[in-house]
Amino acid sequence: MNSDRGCYVYMMQSPSRRALYIGVTSNLQEHVYEHKQHLREGFSATYNTIRLVYFERFSDIRSAINRETQLKHWRRDKKEWLIQ
Q: What CATH code is carried by the domain that includes residue 34? A: 3.40.1440.10
pLDDT in tens, 68-81: 999 999 999 999 99
**Mean per-residue pLDDT, 48-63:** 96
Question: Residue 35 in contact with residue 44, Cβ under 8 Å?
Answer: yes
What pLDDT, on a 0 to 100 scale, did the predictor assign at position 33? Answer: 96
Q: Give the predicted TM-score (pTM) of the model.
A: 0.89
Question: How does residue 35 score in pLDDT terms, banded at 50, 70 and 90?
Answer: very high
**Residues spanned by the domain of 39:** 7-83
Residue 1 included in any domain: no
Per-residue H/E/C for the chain: CCCCCCEEEEEEECCCCCCEEEEEECCHHHHHHHHHHCCCCCHHHHHCCCEEEEEEEECCHHHHHHHHHHHHHCCHHHHHHHHC
What pLDDT, on a 0 to 100 scale, did the predictor assign at position 77? Answer: 96
Residue 53 included in any domain: yes
Residue 2 included in any domain: no
Compute CA 43 distance to the chain's CA centroid, rounded to the nearest angstrom.
12
Q: How many domains does the chain have?
A: 1
